[in-house]
Amino acid sequence: MRAFVHDTAAARVVFAPGAVDRVPDEADRLGAGRVLLIAEGGRPDGEALAEALGPRVVARWSEVVMHVPAPVADRAAQVAMDRRADLLVSLGGGSATGLAKAVALRTGVPILAIPTTYAGSEMTPIWGQTADARKTTGRDPRVLPRVVVYDPRLTLGLPARVAAGSGMNALAHAVEGLYSAGASPVTALLADEAVRALASALPRVVAAPTDLDARGEALYGAWLAGWVLGTAGMGVHHKVCHVLGGTWNLPHADVHSAVLPYAAAFNASAAPEAMARLANALGADPGDAPGALWDLARAVGAATSLAPLGFPADAVALATDLVVAAAPDNPRPVDQTGVTELLHAALRGQRPAATVGIHQASLGGPGHRGGYS
Ligand SMILES: NC(=O)c1ccc[n+]([C@@H]2O[C@H](COP(=O)([O-])OP(=O)(O)OC[C@H]3O[C@@H](n4cnc5c(N)ncnc54)[C@H](O)[C@@H]3O)[C@@H](O)[C@H]2O)c1
């Protein structure tokens, strides 16, 4: 068995249809009386939450921008300090959670997060922000929410197309958690279950967006996947996505969906056990995990290529330099040739070729390397 260090990043989790009604009690439980409520403007559930929290809300922030521009975080943090907030309540997708984290990083004020997509950021001590067209990420225990409230009902209005991409984003956390440096037997079990839940739920969410059971299972998978990301860490896939998102301002979840099958193919030969495990959780042939990810993305209408997302082919060289310079911890060394191939494959968007299964791979049999078509 592989040696490991298991260092759990954990928040209190309240998960139920209708759980948002418990937020005032959860705030009281934390001893908070001065809430900065962060929710995108125009959200009806934001209005309802503000009403439920009543006089605890000392300020509201509605400017939520993808990839957390640093000046927005600076201004929101100033409001938190001016109003002497003692709790940040964020309601929304990864962008709202991300802004709350950037404020927590600047002020030390704790977070209660209510996620409404499958981004999973609420379960990680990882912050990210963008300045001068570069995304910076880091880890800090202060940004890990103290409480996470998951209410599948809040996700019923998430459009099928957004849900599909967001679900692939969640899947990416679980996939990288199977081979990342911080993987342990526990995170592997969580990742297996996250993959199983997401692969089962996403087609049902897309077919019937108001199916509360399907929404609940997708959110459950997203919770586990976010936990895996926060505990086990990440590899080349997340680094590629951060570079593309931060530098070319591409839509975060769609980029994850378009890159994931090719990142898995990139790592296939270096992480055969993780790939076999992933294939098993996806119900695919042992050597076909990257292809099965592509099939799932296609089946749910999520992105399978970077080209339609606005990533230009002439940007591959710069993107490759940025990814290689960031030197992500990854089972296969991250070099110019490999990343260039990965990005071109993600631009072409064709189904990755299957490789031989783990038994032949571990025997060093022919056809062992992962493949792009
Ligand atoms: N730090 C981490 O651990 C981590 C992990 C994952 C993602 N992230 C960050 O999260 C951000 C992306 O998050 P995202 O993909 O959730 O995008 P997002 O928060 O921007 O949401 C995507 C879209 O969905 C809408 N939306 C959200 N919830 C909805 C709902 N319930 N009903 C209807 N519409 C809804 C939003 O208004 C937005 O238009 C990126 O900045 C990414 O870097 C960070």
* Mean of the per-residue pLDDT values of the chain: 93
Of the residues 144, 162, 176, which should be mutated to test ligand 1's pocket, given the most ligand atoms within 8 Å of the CB? 162
E-strand ranges in 62-110 read 87-92
CB of 122 closer than 6 A to ligand 1? Answer: no
What whole-number distance in Å separates Cα of residue 297 and Cα of residue 168?
7
> 245 or 91: whose pLDDT is higher?
91
Average of per-residue pLDDT across 139-149: 97
Q: What is the pLDDT of residues 350-362, one digit of tens each?
A: 999 998 644 444 4
Which pair of tokens denotes residue 279? 């294939």
Q: What is the pLDDT of residues 37-61, one digit of tens each?
A: 999 988 899 999 999 999 999 999 9
Contact between 220 and 200 under an 8 Å Cβ cutoff? The reply is: no
What whole-number distance in Å separates Cα of residue 109 and Cα of residue 72?
17
- What spacing in Å lies between the alpha carbon of 366 and ligand 1's midpoint? 42
- How far, rounded to the nearest angstrom, does the alpha carbon of residue 229 sit from its chain's CA centroid? 8
Interior/surface letters 210-234, b for 16+ CB within 10 angstroms, e for the rest: ebeebbbbbbbbbbbbbbbbbbbbb
State which ligand 1 atom lies nearest to the alpha carbon of 128: 1
- What spacing in Å lies between the alpha carbon of 37 and ligand 1's midpoint? 17
Q: What percent of the chain has pLDDT over 90?
A: 87
Element (H, E) at 328: none
- Judged against a pLDDT cut of 80, whether residue 132 lies above it is answered with yes
Average of per-residue pLDDT across 271-281: 96
Say what the pLDDT of residue 275 is.
97
CB of 90 closer than 6 A to ligand 1? Answer: no
pTM for this one?
0.93
Q: What is the pLDDT of residues 210-247, one digit of tens each?
A: 999 999 999 999 999 999 999 999 999 999 999 999 89
Nearest CA to ligand 1 atom 10: 94
Average of per-residue pLDDT across 263-283: 97
What whole-number distance in Å separates Cα of residue 355 and Cα of residue 303?
23
Cα separations (Å) of 17 from 153, 166, 167, 169? Answer: 6, 20, 19, 23
Cα separations (Å) of 320 from 182, 295, 330, 335? Answer: 24, 26, 15, 8
Contact between 67 and 19 under an 8 Å Cβ cutoff? The reply is: no
HEC-encoded secondary structure of 120-184 = CHHHCCEEEEEECCEEEEEECHHHCCCEEEECHHHHCCCCHHHHHHHHHHHHHHHHHHCCCCCCC
Which backbone phi and psi does 306 adopt, to 5 degrees?
-80, -25
What whole-number distance in Å separates Cα of residue 357 and Cα of residue 368?
8
Of the residues 65, 66, 126, 154, which should be mutated to test ligand 1's pocket, given the most ligand atoms within 8 Å of the CB? 66
- Judged against a pLDDT cut of 80, whether residue 73 lies above it is answered with yes
Q: Write the single-letter amino acid at 116.
A: T
CB of 304 closer than 6 A to ligand 1? Answer: no
Say what the pLDDT of residue 356 is.
62
Say what the pLDDT of residue 42 is.
81
Q: What is the pLDDT of residues 285-320, one digit of tens each?
A: 999 999 999 999 999 999 999 999 999 999 999 999
Say what the pLDDT of residue 133 is.
80
Q: What is the pLDDT of residues 150-186, one digit of tens each?
A: 999 999 999 999 999 999 999 999 999 999 999 999 9
Say what the pLDDT of residue 10 is.
74
Nearest CA to ligand 1 atom 32: 158
What whole-number distance in Å separates Cα of residue 109 and Cα of residue 48?
23
**Half-sphere exposure (Cβ direction) of 124: Cα atoms closer than 13 Å:** 29
Say what the pLDDT of residue 152 is.
98
- Judged against a pLDDT cut of 90, whether residue 371 lies above it is answered with no
Per this entry, what is the length of the chain? 373
